[in-house]
Homo-oligomer: A and B are copies of this chain.
Amino acid sequence: MSFEGSDVNGSLWVGEGGKIHVIDQRVLPFREEEFILNTLEDACFSIREMVVRGAPLIGVTAAFGMYLASGNNSNNIMETLEEAAAYLNSSRPTAVNLFTATRRMLETAAYCHDPAEIENTLFLEASRIREEEIVSCRNIGEHGLPLIEAIWERKKPSPVQILTHCNAGWLSTVKYGTATAPIYLAHQKGIPIHIWVDETRPRNQGARLTAYELGLAGIPHSVIPDNTGGHLMQHGLVDLVIVGSDRTTRNGDVANKIGTYLKALAAFDNQVPFYVALPSSSIDFNMEDGLRNIPVEERSPEEVVHTEGWDGLGITRIRVLPENSLARNYGFDVTPARLVTGLITEKGICPATEGGISGLFEDLKI
């Protein structure tokens, strides 16, 4: 199997016999494998263990998890679904898409008058959420593209240099990605670009996933240690930063992969535009002050102690630390809105402020 044509299916698709397929992101870029979600437990496992990751894809996976749970047609289907939602919600704490998706699926089920129709209704609703994420990402690309075009007009024939952190590509959504959507569209339009890919320790989503995606698409890129971005910006080697978001508050504070805040500080210090690309499904309209309120997942120190890679024969794990040293592993940080140049959403670009966000998403305001 090869994922060369994976943009046809994206990172999650419904296969033959209605089975839910995802790409197993734990083994990329070394092996290209699928993982099939047969049960609610499979969906929870795939989110918790990061078979799938990225806020939008977590939301879509959770939606299909709710559909899978509805297959257990117990006497009290709503109780079963409430439990399924709680189980899914406990799988990871930071991405708001997870909670939004499970709530929406519960509401859809509650509006379904015929219990026999719930399973089918939930399948359709999950498929709709998947489709909406694809359309959102495509629109994010269309809205972000002019930013790249403007830089290209200014500096051609030098390529536009864009820095990104972690993976906010199609692997983290379904298709196109968020931060990568404008990048893919710029590349399709023939604008010369070069992407600085933060390797994104400890799980190396940049080195493993973003580099894999860009390689498939034939987009020039260089993987750099997470330490490097500031130096590059000091020397004029970054024209634009675009990252994704796991949760953005109504006032524009951005939770994203740990280390994003450090890059935002460097961008601010060097007057490099720093944009966050996100679908509105990643906006938490009920929350402000992200630094205080967004829960930041602390994951197993093992992800820091050991690094995983290809040893020539297979995927292997090596220990980098001394045997008795401890490690800590915070998954995300929060970039204060004051450091964000703008949010690239499916409805357009807005300032990272309450006014900016509510201007675009009038209907979603609480």
- Point out residues on A near B: beta carbons under 8 Å: 29, 197, 199-202, 204, 207-208, 211-212, 214-215, 221-232, 234, 257-259, 261-263, 265-266, 269, 291, 296, 304-311, 316-330, 332-334
Residue contact B318 to A309, C-beta cutoff 8 Å? yes
How far apart are A175's CB and chain B's nearest CB, in angstroms?
A: 20
Which residues of chain B are within 8 angstroms of A269 by Cβ–Cβ distance? 265
**28 interchain pairs, CB-CB under 8 A:** A200-B227, A201-B227, A202-B225, A208-B320, A208-B321, A208-B322, A222-B327, A223-B326, A225-B226, A227-B258, A227-B333, A231-B261, A232-B330, A234-B261, A234-B291, A234-B334, A262-B262, A262-B266, A265-B266, A307-B307, A308-B318, A309-B320, A310-B319, A311-B317, A311-B318, A311-B319, A316-B318, A318-B318
Which residues of chain B are within 8 angstroms of A330 by Cβ–Cβ distance? 224, 228, 231-232
How far apart are the CA atoms of A207 and B204 in the complex, in Å? 16
Identify the closest chain B residue to A202 (Cβ).
B225
Identify the closest chain B residue to A310 (Cβ).
B319
Residue contact A259 to B234, C-beta cutoff 8 Å? no
How far apart are the CA atoms of A202 and B316 in the complex, in Å? 18
A311-B316, A322-B212 are contacts. A226–B223 as well, Cβ < 8 Å? no
Identify the closest chain B residue to A305 (Cβ).
B223
Identify the closest chain B residue to A309 (Cβ).
B318
How far apart are the CA atoms of A226 and B330 in the complex, in Å? 11
Identify the closest chain B residue to A28 (Cβ).
B322
How far apart are the CA atoms of A208 and B321 in the complex, in Å? 5
Q: A201-B225, A225-B226 are in contact. List 15 more A-B contacts (CB 8 A).
A: A197-B325, A202-B225, A207-B325, A215-B324, A224-B327, A226-B227, A226-B259, A230-B259, A307-B307, A309-B318, A309-B319, A309-B320, A311-B311, A311-B317, A318-B318
How far apart are the CA atoms of A224 and B214 in the complex, in Å? 28
Which residues of chain B are within 8 angstroms of A265 by Cβ–Cβ distance? 230, 262, 265-266, 269
Most B C-beta atoms less than 10 A away, residue of A29, A221, A265, A304: A265
A309-B307, A325-B221 are contacts. A262–B318 as well, Cβ < 8 Å? no
Which residues of chain B are within 8 angstroms of A309 by Cβ–Cβ distance? 306-307, 318-320
A234-B334, A261-B266, A265-B265 are contacts. A224–B321 as well, Cβ < 8 Å? no
Most B C-beta atoms less than 10 A away, residue of A197, A262, A304, A305: A262
Q: Can you list the 7 inter-chain pairs with the closest CB atoms, starting with the nearest?
A: A227-B259, A309-B318, A231-B333, A29-B322, A201-B225, A211-B325, A265-B265
Which residues of chain B are within 8 angstroms of A202 by Cβ–Cβ distance? 225
How far apart are the CA atoms of A261 and B269 in the complex, in Å? 11
- Choose from B222, B262, B323 the contact partner of A227 (Cβ within 8 Å): B262
Identify the closest chain B residue to A216 (Cβ).
B322
